[in-house]
């Protein structure tokens, strides 16, 4: 493969910038650009050593730098790798990269360093995918999930299942291919027992997928309620800034205001909406229509009620429209005397919390209610799980084949048919781990990476 180079640090000023070079000519390309103080050559440097020197091009000195050498196969990519650390200026790092490209390196594509690590056997595909999850982690739980995958948790579970299937396939093949030999027939009871164990493991890999997806991608959520119950005040409280206009005039919010906010370890893609009520105002009616659409499309509804006054017809109408949805009811304005019919709300919505958005009091209760509603806890992520749709699709397909094989055995179908079904399950697991996968899928996986990783 060609020798590639890219800037591996963010495209912004900083303390240092790192330019990474990988490939069979990485040391020669780096030597053409970097000159160590003391007269030693880059090509003579052993792995895991550094040198201080000058990076330059045909026009002369660019910057004082430190070069680190990693020799194959003991590097991230499994190839010879050099990393040049320079002062963290955008122009400086780009000029050093240009010098490397002018001396034989090629620009790295998105994710190409990690792709080479996968192709060279340094990472399985599930671990490689987790690298970007580590980079993009925005919370402790998200980082914990990504680290488990990067360390091969999902791969080990898949290999465990694959090993059981291969044992069954080899037993079936021996019995089928050598009928004249004294080879005992594989017992159906044994096969079903092994397949049920495989099924249990595969189910465990997808059980936490939805919770993991929520942690990674966030929850589309909407704050709804009649006018002047404190929706915008709560929105600003959660956002940490004045994103929505707040006045005592009912109907101030007429359009949807959106913000991504963090509630503990959960990200909410939150929308503040117009107050839902009967109106003849055409413009306000459009905003109310948007709010009603968000009730239908959001995964989480935060329904706000004014605790300082009794429920109104608009409140009752809203409660009726929320049946069957994932809802947290917020009884707001607890800093005032409560006059609302609390029992009616708690009987309609299980997850009800009391908040004073004005005083920023009770947000922790809202967080706890959302975590409980979506079954999110730190204990949820103590085991391996599918990390993305590609992995889930492979596991679902393998699981379907295993179920089909169990049904076929229980129905006393020909063992040749069972053999074909088990082979399909095995192929899906090999696709999951990347041991048997098309170039197109590999390219798609790594296209989502940043350049330089």
CA atoms within 13 A on the CB side of 148: 19
With a cut of 50, say whether residue 171 has pLDDT above it. yes
Domains 4-108 and 143-208+386-436 share a fold: no
Tokens of 253: 């919010």
149 versus 379: which is more confidently predicted? 149
Give the C-alpha separation, 213 to 217, whole Å.
6
3-state SS, residue 143 = helix
Rounded mean pLDDT of the chain? 85
The CATH H-level (homologous superfamily) assignment of domain 143-208+386-436 is tRNA modification GTPase MnmE domain 2 (1.20.120.430)
Token digits for 115? 């792709």
Assign domain 4-108 one CATH number from 3.30.1360.120, 3.90.1640.10, 3.40.50.10860, 3.30.1330.10. Answer: 3.30.1360.120
Task: Identify which of 438, 213, 231, 445 has the alpha carbon closest to the alpha carbon of residue 332.
Answer: 231
pLDDT band at 25; cut points 50, 70, 90: very high
Closest alpha carbon to 69 in 108, 37, 41, 106: 41
Task: Record the pTM.
Answer: 0.68
342-393 residue pLDDT tens: 899 999 999 999 999 888 898 899 989 988 888 765 555 556 777 788 889 9
24-44: average pLDDT: 94
pLDDT attached to residue 247: 43
Residue 225, pLDDT > 70, answer yes
* Statement: residue 134 has pLDDT above 90: no
Q: What is the pLDDT of residues 408-445, one digit of tens each?
A: 999 887 778 888 999 999 999 999 888 887 787 788 88
For residues 265 and 215, the answer to whether their CB atoms sit within 8 Å is yes
Q: The dihedral of CA 381, 383, 387, 389: what is its sign? A: negative
220-379 topology per CATH: Rossmann fold (3.40.50)
Candidate from 4-18, 111-125, 267-281 with smallest mean pLDDT = 267-281
**Cβ-based neighbour number of residue 250 at 10 Å:** 13
Q: What is the dihedral of CA 63, 68, 72, 77, to 10 degrees?
A: -70
User: In sequence order, what E strands does 293-428 have?
Assistant: 300-306, 327-332, 352-354
Let me know how long the chain is.
453
Helix (H, G, I), strand (E, B) or coil at 273: coil
Residue 336: Cβ within 10 Å count? 13
Q: Where are the domains of the chain?
A: 4-108, 143-208+386-436, 220-379
Kindly report, residue by residue over 67-108, the tens digit of the pLDDT. Answer: 999 999 999 999 999 999 999 989 999 999 999 999 999 999
Q: Give the max Cα distance, the chain.
A: 90
């Amino acid at each position: 493969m060609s020798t590639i180079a890219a800037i591996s640090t963010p495209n912004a000023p900083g303390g240092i910038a790192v330019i990474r070079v990988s490939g069979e000519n990485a040391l020669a390309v780096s030597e053409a650009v970097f000159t160590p103080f003391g007269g030693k050559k880059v090509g003579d440097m052993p792995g895991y050593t550094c040198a201080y020197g000058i990076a330059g091009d045909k026009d002369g000195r660019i910057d004082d730098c430190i070069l680190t050498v990693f020799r194959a196969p003991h590097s991230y990519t499994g190839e010879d790798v050099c990393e040049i650390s320079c002062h963290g200026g955008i122009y400086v790092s780009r000029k050093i990269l240009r010098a490397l490209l002018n001396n034989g390196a090629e620009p790295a594509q998105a994710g190409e360093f990690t792709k080479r690590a996968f192709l060279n056997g340094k990472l399985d595909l599930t671990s490689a995918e987790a690298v970007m999850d580590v980079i993009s982690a925005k919370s402790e739980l998200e980082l914990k999930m990504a680290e488990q995958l990067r360390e091969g948790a999902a791969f080990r579970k898949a290999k465990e299942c694959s090993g059981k299937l291969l044992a069954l396939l080899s037993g079936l093949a021996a019995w089928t291919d050598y009928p004249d030999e004294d080879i005992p027939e594989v017992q159906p009871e044994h096969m079903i027992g092994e397949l049920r164990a495989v099924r249990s493991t595969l189910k465990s890999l997808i059980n936490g997928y939805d919770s993991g997806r929520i942690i990674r991608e966030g929850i589309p959520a909407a704050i709804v309620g009649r006018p002047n119950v404190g929706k915008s005040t709560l929105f600003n409280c959660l956002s940490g800034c004045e994103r929505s206009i707040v006045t005592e005039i009912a109907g101030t919010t007429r359009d949807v205001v959106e913000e991504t906010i963090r509630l503990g370890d959960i990200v909410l893609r939150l929308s503040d909406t117009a107050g839902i009520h009967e109106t003849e105002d055409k413009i306000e009616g459009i905003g109310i229509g948007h709010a009603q659409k968000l009730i239908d499309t959001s995964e989480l509804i935060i329904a706000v009620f004014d605790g300082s006054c009794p429920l109104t017809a608009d409140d009752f109408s809203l409660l009726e429209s929320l049946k069957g949805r994932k809802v947290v009811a917020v009884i707001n304005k607890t800093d005032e005397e409560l006059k609302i019919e609390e029992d009616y709300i708690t009987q309609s919505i299980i997850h009800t919390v009391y908040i004073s958005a004005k005083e920023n009091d009770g947000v922790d209760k809202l967080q706890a209610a959302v975590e409980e509603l979506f079954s999110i806890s730190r204990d949820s992520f103590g085991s391996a799980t599918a990390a993305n749709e590609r992995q889930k699709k492979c596991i679902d397909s393998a699981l379907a084949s295993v179920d089909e094989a169990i049904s076929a055995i229980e129905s006393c179908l020909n063992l040749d048919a069972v053999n074909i079904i088990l082979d399909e399950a095995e192929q899906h697991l090999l696709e999951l781990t990347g041991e048997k996968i098309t170039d197109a899928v590999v390219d798609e996986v790594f296209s989502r990476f940043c350049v330089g990783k």
